[in-house]
Amino acid sequence: MFEVSRRDLVLAGLGAGLVFGVKGPVSFIGAAHAQRAANSLKYKVGDIEVFSLHEGEVERVVDAAYVKNVAVEDVKKALAASGIGPDKFANPFTPTAIRSGGKVVLFDAGFGANGAPTVGKMADNMKAAGLDPTTVATVVISHFHPDHISGLWIKETSEQVYPNAQILMPEVEYKFWTDPALVEKVPEANRPFVRRIQSTFPTWKNITQYNDGAEVAPGVRAIATPGHTVGHTSFLVASGGQQLFIQSDVTGIHQLFVRNPGWFSMFDADGPKAEATRRAFFDRVIAEKGMIAGYHFGFPNVGTLSKDGSGYAFEAVKA
């Protein structure tokens, strides 16, 4: 059963001094939608409708490889202190979509039908939020990890899920992954995925590459945030004096990597660069009093950041 809250989600004190200098609270205008089996959250940034769309989750075992520069015992202590883990936890995936000027723009495609049985829920959650997946006009990709691009392919084929959409990909990321020499540089287990990228993306006529600072949709600018991958990108949604930073994978789960920005995830290609990027990015979010949405922040995946000692703290909105 659909549960609909008719109250606005008002986050007092967050709006002062935003891009256009508007003062006052940030209000998430309209209904917040939640469904127990299929989660979605709808809110507004100025005139732009925003949707958090839960894709699902997978179980992550906490071992010595998970955080590359910290003892596993310290990682488990941090998880336990946050009320999750400590030996394993559910790693969540929550893409963001917007509706601007009547067009639907999706940021990252999730696993789609190419993942575990516990993922691939985004299409249903789009429908629950009032979005028709077949009407997606643009898919903006942040980087080429499987949980962000596998949903571009129909299950076990090379056919497109969004053949009528414009697909935007970071130029730096695209060139890295489509370099033929990359196949022999990655572990054997990862080569089929790289080959799939190289055999499909260069043949798709609806792919456009973009660079740092590009306007990828009305009111949305790309922000280069390298480190997690070579061309990893985040996004700034700005409208009516309000700002939302879509951080993509600047960090993984906030309980570990927002709170401890110096910890290097096993998925960070360049740990030191990833740390420098997230500290600069998070400092900007706080300085500009913006909201932030994280792909692996759970549900709801949007909220605020604050400084917390040598790290940061994420506080989700109350839906």
pLDDT in tens, 167-209: 999 999 999 999 999 999 999 999 999 999 999 999 999 999 9
Nearest in space to 216 (alpha carbons), one of 90, 107, 61: 107
Instruction: Give, in degrees to the nearest 5, the angle at Cα 123 between 57 and 85.
Output: 10
Angle at 150 between CA 163 and CA 154, to 5 degrees: 45
DSSP assignment of 230-272 equals TT-EEEEEEETTEEEEEEETSSS-HHHHTT-TT--BTT-SSHH
pLDDT of residue 205: 98
Q: Where are the domains of the chain?
A: 3-316
Torsion from C-alpha of 254, 256, 262, 264, nearest 10 degrees:
-100
Is the Cβ–Cβ distance between 237 and 45 less than 8 Å? yes
pTM (two decimals): 0.89
pLDDT at residue 12 is higher than 90:
no
Question: Tokens 């949903």 correspond to what residue?
Answer: 151
127: tokens are 């429908």
Fold of 3-316: Metallo-beta-lactamase; Chain A (3.60.15)
State the pairing for strand pair 166-170/207-210: parallel
Encode pLDDT of 248-303 as tens digits: 999 999 999 999 999 999 999 999 999 999 999 999 999 999 999 999 999 889 99
Q: Are 253 and 298 in contact (CB under 8 A)?
A: yes
The confidence score (pLDDT) of residue 319 equals 66
Confidence of residue 39 (pLDDT cuts 50, 70, 90): confident
| Spatial distance between the Cα atoms of 164 and 192, rounded to a whole number of angstroms | 26
Strand (E) positions, the chain? 3-5, 9-11, 26-28, 32-34, 40-45, 48-53, 56-61, 88-93, 96-100, 103-107, 136-140, 166-170, 207-210, 215-217, 220-224, 233-239, 242-248, 291-294, 302-308, 311-316
Q: What percentage of the chain carries pLDDT values higher than 90? A: 84
More confident residue, 30 or 202: 202
What is the model's pLDDT at position 318? 82
pLDDT category at 101 given cuts 50, 70, 90 is confident
- Cα distances from 307 to residues 155, 196, 251, in angstroms, run 42, 41, 15
Tens digits of residue pLDDT in 144-156: 999 999 999 999 8
Alpha carbon distance 257, 88 (integer Å): 16
With a cut of 90, say whether residue 166 has pLDDT above it. yes
Task: Name the more confident of 16 and 86.
Answer: 86
Q: pLDDT: is 107 or 31 the higher one? A: 107
pLDDT exceeds 50 at position 9:
no
By the 8 A CB rule, do 257 and 251 touch?
yes
Task: Please tell me the distance from the alpha carbon of residue 219 to that of residue 194, in angstroms, as a whole number.
Answer: 32
In whole angstroms, what is the distance from residue 9 CA to residue 27 CA?
6
Mean pLDDT of the region 54-68: 96
- 11 and 28 in contact (C-beta within 8 Å)? yes
> Is the pLDDT assigned to residue 16 strictly greater than 90?
no
pLDDT at residue 10, as a whole number? 31
* Local confidence band at 29 (pLDDT 50, 70, 90 cut-offs): very low
Please determine, for residue 244, whether its predicted confidence score (pLDDT) is greater than 90: yes
Left if phi > 0, otherwise alpha if psi is -120 to 50, otherwise beta: which for 174? alpha
Average pLDDT, the chain: 89
**Residue 312 in contact with residue 306, Cβ under 8 Å?**
yes
Lowest mean pLDDT among 35-44, 119-128, 184-193, 205-214: 35-44
| Burial label, 72 (beta-carbon count in 10 A; 0-12, 13-18, 19+) | middle
Match 């009547």 to its residue by tokens: 102
- Residue 25 in contact with residue 15, Cβ under 8 Å? yes
Nearest by Cα to 55 from 34, 39, 41 = 39
